[in-house]
Chains A and B, each alone.
Chain A
C-alpha cells in the first residue's frame, strides 16, 4: 500500500506534519491559516482561546500553560473557610481542546523572539505565531519589607492569593488556631489582584469564628486608607460582626493609623507596623504585586512592573503583534479581576480578528461586575461599564457599588447571584 504525501501528512496530523512539509508550502499555509498563540491559561487566556474560535473559525489556536487544571481565585475564600472544596473551583481545558479545537500544550515558555515571531518552550521547541496573546497574571514582590520572603510565604505567612496549595495552607492554619486567637491580614498596596478580596476574606473568616472560635479576632493591617466597596462592606461588618463596637470581631487599621507594615518577624508570626507590633496565630500576608514573571522575561513590562497596552486593542505598546490581557495589563479604571480579564480577552480577540481580516479594530466595550460575600448570605457588588477616551479606560458614571438599604433582600439576593454567577462565568471562560 502506498500513501500519497497528503495522506501521510493527514495521518501524522498537527504540528509534527508541518515539519515534514517544505518551506514554500509552510509559508502558504501560514498566510491562509493565521496562527494565534496564547501564553497563560487562566481566565484571560482561556476566554481568549474560546472566543477566538468563535470569531475566527479557520484560525490555528495554541494555548500554552504548564498546569493541567486551572483553579479560579474566584470563590477561593469560600474554600479557605470550608464552604467549598478546591475541586469545586477547578476547571480543565477539555472543552477548549475538543469543542473549540485549540491545541493545548502543557509546557513553560522560556524564550521569545519578537523579530522572528517565535516563542521557545522548555520541552516542546519553538513555535511561530502571527499574533501572540499573553495573559500572565500576577506575581509577588517579596523584598518590600525586611524579614518577609518567598520562604515565609510558603510556611508561616501564606498569601493564599493564588488559589491552590496556598489556599489549603491558610485553611489548615485557620483551623489550628487556638480559641480566642488572632488572625492577622496584611492587605496589599494598589494595584493588586481582586481589590475586594482581602475584605471578603476578613468577613468570611469572622463568620467562621462565630461558629468555631467565637472569641477570636481578625485584624487587618492596610497599606491603604480606602478600599473598594468599603461603604457596603463596613455596613455589613456592623450588621454581622459588631464593627465599630467594643466587641467587634474585625479591626481595620488603615495606613493613616499606622497600618502599613514596616518589618516582619516570620518565625514569630509578628508584623511590625506604625501602629505597633502585632503577634498573631495566623498571618495572612498578601504581598505587593507586579505582572507575572513571564511578562518580565518577554520584555513586556514598564518600570512600575506592569504591561502598557493600547487600551482599544490590548496590543502591547512595547512589542507589536503581542497582546497583554488580564491582571498584568495596565487598564486604568478597570480593576484587576477575573471578570476584567474575561472582558479584555474579548476586546483583544475582536482586535486580532479585525487585524487578520485587514480591518481597523472596531470600537471596544468592557465591563466588570464583582460580587463579594460579607457573609454566606450577605453579598455586596460593584458593576461598571468602561469606554476608552484618549487611550485611557474610563468608567461610565452612574454605575457602581451596591446601594446600602434596609431591605434584607438586597444583600441576600447578591449572595445568591454570586454563587450562580461563578458557574455561568466559569462556563463563559472554559466550557
Chain B
C-alpha cells in the first residue's frame, strides 16, 4: 500500500470540513441583498415615504398585496407590461430583492 499523501488526522478532518462548508458554499452563491426597508426606500423617492403617496401616476405601495407587487415587477422587468419608466427601474432588481420589497410594503398599514 502506497504511503498516504496526507497525514491520517487530515484524512479525517478534510471530509468533515467539506461537509461543514458545503451548505455555506451553496449559500455563498447568493450575494447579500439589502433589506426590504433599504430597497423600499429607493422606491420612496417617487412612490412616497414608506410607499405612501397621493399621486395619480405613481401609486401608493403601502399595504399592497405582496403577490400583486411581485407579479407587476416581474412583468415590468420582462417588458410584458407597458410603462413609462418602470420597465427600466424593474431591471435593476433581482427576484430576491423584489420579494424583499414586496414583503416590506405589504406589511405597511
Chain A interface residues (CB < 8 Å from chain B): 50-51, 54, 339, 342-343, 346-347, 350, 362-367, 369, 381, 383-386, 396-400, 410, 413-414, 416-417, 420-421, 423-425, 427-428
Contact = CB atoms under 8 A, between A and B. Distances in A.
Given A363-B38, A365-B97, 6 more contacts: A54-B50, A343-B45, A362-B38, A367-B89, A383-B88, A424-B55
B46 A369 contact: yes
B89 A385 contact: yes
B15 to A, nearest CB: 32
Contacts of A397: 91
B55 A420 contact: yes
Given A50-B49, A343-B45, A420-B55, A365 B88 contact: no
Contact of A399 (B42, B49, B56, B92): B92
A417 B41 contact: no
A350 B36 CA distance: 12
Contacts of B50: 54
14 contacts: A50-B49, A54-B50, A346-B38, A350-B38, A365-B39, A365-B41, A369-B89, A385-B42, A385-B92, A385-B93, A396-B92, A397-B91, A423-B55, A424-B47
B91 A398 contact: yes
B33 interface: yes
Contacts of A398: 88, 91-92
A313 B33 CA distance: 15
Nearest to A47: B45
Contacts of B34: 362-365
B39 to A, nearest CB: 5
Nearest to B56: A420
A369 B44 CA distance: 12
Contacts of A417: 57-58, 84-85
A51 B56 contact: no
What 3 pairs between A and B have smallest CB-CB spacing? A385-B92, A367-B42, A365-B34
Contact of A365 (B38, B48, B85): B38
B92 A384 contact: yes
Contacts of A50: 49
Nearest to B97: A365
Given A417-B57, A427-B49, A367 B92 contact: yes
B60 to A, nearest CB: 10
B27 interface: no
Contacts of B84: 381, 410, 413-414, 417
| B: contact size bracket | 20 to 34
A343 B43 CA distance: 10
A158 to B, nearest CB: 29
A394 to B, nearest CB: 11
Contacts of B42: 343, 346, 365-367, 385
B4 to A, nearest CB: 41
Interface in B54-91: 55-58, 84-85, 88-89, 91
B53 interface: yes
Contacts of A420: 55-58
B48 A424 contact: yes
B58 A421 contact: yes
Nearest to A412: B84
A383 B38 contact: no
Contact of B45 (A399, A400, A410, A428): A428
A13 to B, nearest CB: 28
Contacts of A425: 45-46
Contacts of B45: 339, 342-343, 367, 369, 424-425, 428
Contacts of A384: 88, 92
A397 B56 CA distance: 29
A220 B83 CA distance: 33
B11 interface: no
A300 to B, nearest CB: 25
A46 to B, nearest CB: 12
Given A363-B32, A399-B91, A428-B49, A346 B41 contact: yes
A364 B49 contact: no
Interface string B14-43: 000000000000000000111101110110
Contacts of B57: 416-417, 420
Nearest to B58: A424
Nearest to B91: A398
A91 B47 CA distance: 19
A369 B92 CA distance: 12
